[in-house]
Amino acid sequence: MSTTRPIATTRSATGIPTGKLAVWWVIGSEIVIFGGLLASYVMHRLGHPEWAEYASHTNTWFGATNTFVLLTSSLFAVLAHHAAEQGDGKKAAKWLLGTCAGGLVFICVKAVEWTGEIQHGYTITANGFWHFYYTAAGLHGLHVIAGCIIMLIIANDARKGKELHRVELIGIYWHFVDIIWIFLFPLLYIAK
Amino acid sequence: MAEHQDHAGDHGQAFYVKIWAILLVLLILSVLGPIIAPHVAFGFLEAWMITLMTAFGIALVKAYLVAANFMHLNVEKKYISYLLATMLMLMLLFFAGTAPDVMEHKGQNWENVAAAAEVERALEAEGKDPHGEHAEGHDDAAH
């Protein structure tokens, strides 16, 4: 095995390890991506009074359940970080797997919710509201899936006590995904 | 790991569980908001205002709690907060620049015929007055 460590791990010219700085930059660009999408949704929603009726068909309980799931998975992610700080890689890996399970439950709830909506004719082409609904929630769902895959890789390393600093990095990303949902929930499910 | 010790190292598990419990209470309040809003509305405080406050006001508080305590943004280098705030400002700039053309369907020298027609068609299909969307108070009075 090579003993060379990646520069992202060893260098911190800005006062922050380069890998962590990269995660903050990813989040900065994600703010623009999701921010642009949500800002577009808000301006269209305000310009289209008929969307209030379309929005009334979303199920608040599905949204609330998924908010609960993501908030809980965020707790698991920060507990994984806490365990990694203590140098306990095995415990960190367990919390990361718990976080990943939260992501899986989130996707399953979304699958059930979307199946019902599509069966009722509320497809992505039904009207502008449902177009935004599936685009925003779908893009967010892709971030959840990507986060879960990365988390499994990091958990596998953490279990062996390797690269524990990465537990914090994936945690930061996961909390951001949680924050996006915190805003999607009232936009798509509460404001009717 | 030394550089991480000043972050989460200050807090035990109980602290994070406490933040999570506060987030759940806020979630419950945001779900209950639209349900209780019509019953607690009085005077100038209308039901939709209460719903907006419980939905988006609470979302802002929840996002702050997650960012500050779970992402540890409160103990991160200041320039990270400035970086994220700059991105939010870009989003607001985008909104300010484009919203007037999207939220309105007619200006001094232009008209978005397709959008206006779609609003009219959809409101008629819903059985509502397509020309009364900006005069809800008058509609209520008429009924």
Q: Which residue has the higher pLDDT, B42 or A157?
A: A157
Residue of B nearest to A188 (CA): B55
A175: nearest CB among B9, B70, B80: B70
Chain A nearest C-alpha distance from B124 (Å): 9
Orientation angle between helical segments A165-185 and A128-159, nearest 10 degrees: 160
Tell me the domain boundaries of chain B. 1-71, 104-143
Of B41-45, B72-76, B108-112, give the lowest mean pLDDT range: B41-45
B63: nearest CB among A47, A77, A183: A183
State the DSSP H helix or E strand holding residue A108, giving kind and residue range, or none if neither: helix A89-119
The CA-atom distances, in angstroms, between B107 and each of A26, B100, B102, B113 are 38, 9, 11, 11
Tell me the two tokens of residue B66.
């997650």
Residues of A in contact with B70 (CB under 8 A): 74-75, 77-78, 171, 175, 178
- Neighbouring C-alpha atoms within 13 Å toward the C-beta of A152: 10
Residue pLDDT, tens place only, B58-109: 999 999 999 999 999 999 999 999 999 999 999 999 999 999 889 999 988 8
Interchain CB distance below 8 Å, B8 and A81: yes
Please name the residues between 43 and 102 in chain B that touch chain A, using a CB distance below 8 Å: 51-52, 54-56, 58-59, 62-63, 66-67, 69-71, 76-77, 79-80, 83-84, 86-88, 90-92, 94-95, 98-99, 102
Interchain CB distance below 8 Å, B95 and A42: yes
Interchain CB distance below 8 Å, B20 and A74: yes
Residue B127: per-residue pLDDT = 81
Q: Reduce the DSSP state of residue A167 to 3 states and report it.
A: helix
Residue B130: per-residue pLDDT = 64
Beta-carbon count within 10 A of A156 CB: 13
Cα A142 vs. chain centroid, distance in angstroms? 8
Residue A186: per-residue pLDDT = 96
Interchain CB distance below 8 Å, A67 and B27: yes
Residue pLDDT, tens place only, B129-141: 666 544 343 333 3
DSSP B27: H
CB pairs under 8 A between A and B: 156
Q: Which residue has the higher pLDDT, A13 or A121?
A: A121
A79: nearest CB among B13, B66, B95: B13
CB A132 within 8 A of CB A41: yes
The CA-atom distances, in angstroms, between A68 and each of A28, A123, B137 are 25, 26, 37
Question: CA–CA separation, A105 vs A35, rounded Å?
Answer: 25
Supply φ then ψ for residue B63, to 5 degrees.
-60, -40
Chain B nearest C-alpha distance from A19 (Å): 13
pLDDT level of residue A137 (50, 70, 90 thresholds): very high
A175: nearest CB among B5, B71, B94: B71
* Mean pLDDT value across chain A: 94
Q: Which residues pair with B106 in a beta bridge?
A: B111
ipTM score of complex? 0.92
CATH domain A17-190 topology: Four Helix Bundle (Hemerythrin (Met), subunit A) (1.20.120)
For chain B, how long is the longest CA-to-CA vector?
Answer: 69
Question: CA–CA separation, A141 vs B100, rounded Å?
Answer: 30
Chain B nearest C-alpha distance from A188 (Å): 11
Residue type, A79: L
- Asked whether residue B143 carries a pLDDT value surpassing 90, the answer given is no
The CA-atom distances, in angstroms, between A173 and each of A18, A27, A150, A169, B124 are 15, 7, 10, 7, 45
Residue B70: per-residue pLDDT = 97
Closest to A48 measured CA to CA, from B56, B126, B54, B46: B126
Residue pLDDT, tens place only, A36-82: 999 999 999 999 999 999 999 999 999 999 999 999 999 999 999 99
Tell me the domain boundaries of chain A. 17-190
B91: nearest CB among A39, A81, A165: A39
Residues of B in contact with A14 (CB under 8 A): 77, 79
Tell me the two tokens of residue A9.
């791990």
State the DSSP H helix or E strand holding residue B75, giving kind and residue range, or none if neither: none
